[in-house]
A and B are shown apart, each in its own frame.
Chain A
Amino acid sequence: MTFINYAAREINCKLVYYGPGLGGKTTNLQCIYAKTNPQAKGKLISLATESDRTLFFDFLPLELGNIRGFRTRFHLYTVPGQVFYDASRKLILKGVDGVVFVADSQAARMDANVESIYNLKENLRTQGYELKNLPYILQLNKRDMPTAVSVEEMTRTLQSQGEPVFEAVATTGVGVFDTLKSLARMVLLRLRRGETQGSAARQTRQ
């Protein structure tokens, strides 16, 4: 749920990185954090276990600039991917404006990818969303792995609604920013369509 603050002239959107455990969600955020201008980012918060597995969420606030005089901020979250953290994943999806599904390209993880997409759709429904109504991108991560399944097969198996598909190697940064920019663009364009349809609130002059 986008937050538009006319008083402070800010637009705030929430993007969530979803996917199976160890698929590269946190690595995406770490890469974005490492390569973003200090003026454009806040702290990267990681609530993780001692073995660096995401326990609750990672959080990275980004400020991308101004659009028509409004500061545009995106709050990036990751969910914990391990299966037994499902209760936490539900909570992190609350108020989401856009989703990146980070799929693990390794052949042995295809079942986990499929299960995680199903889980995403179910958890969105419990929050009152339908994935088909949300800005959504499929990222095929770990394209550098020797057992990586072909892009065609992964797309055939995992793409669910004609969403954009990006190849990535999050450890090196390949595809990370393309994914983020594309999703952010989708969210803003959706807001524009929503405004012109008169569904969002507006300011009345003082």
Chain B
Amino acid sequence: MDAQTPVLELEGVSKSFGPVQALSEVDFRVHPGEVVALVGDNGAGKSTLVKTIAGIHEADEGRILFEGNEVKITHPTDAVHLGIATVYQDLALCDNLDVVENLFLGREEGTLALDETSMEKQAGELLGRLAVTIVDMRAEVGTLSGGQRQQVAIARSLLGDPKVVVLDEPTAALGVRQTAMVLNLIKRLREEGHGVVVISHNLADVFEVADRIFVLRLGRESGDLAAGETSQEEVVAAITGATGGREGGR
């Protein structure tokens, strides 16, 4: 993995809101085909980090490298054009539109004559490839279960063929079976070679899918642990600051 260039790399990124230092000199990277879990307590800076990647906030200091080249991400569209797709916990879908309409929202085919047949066909192929089972592609998204909605939201982010997919709390508020469906989908993203960043509060989920666990505490990196070589206790300690963490997982 070390031989490979990270698809996305942040170097010494800092961000403050007035007197509040939300991020201090954070180094963060994701490789292709790698799932990085971003964990930390409330206010640790997870959301700020994700929003910096997604272009909602601009970093005050530090560099962002995409596939080894330095880039500026100052607007959400910059991130999208680079190939960074962000799936937010909510606010992602229009409940009054059906599955196909949501998948192609903002990138419809045929401006003056929508090509529904083609879009539905592609939507079916995409969901099939991701092993997402949805009985009726024309069902309103509002009628789907929470897990199915989350799967649709994640699937939608893949239509632009992104290099990096950022998932904000994809399993929050989901039942056991639905969580399993979403985690399986995340594994598929890894198999397809996407770099995946997952914010999660649920350490069981984190250990199930993540290759690496990146811990933030009070805006600073407090641990970068290889999932296979660490324990839940160690991660909790890094989150709470009980041990002061361990510098650099690798």
Asked if A pairs with B, the answer is no
Give residues in B with beta carbon < 8 Å to A.
none
Give residues in A with beta carbon < 8 Å to B.
none
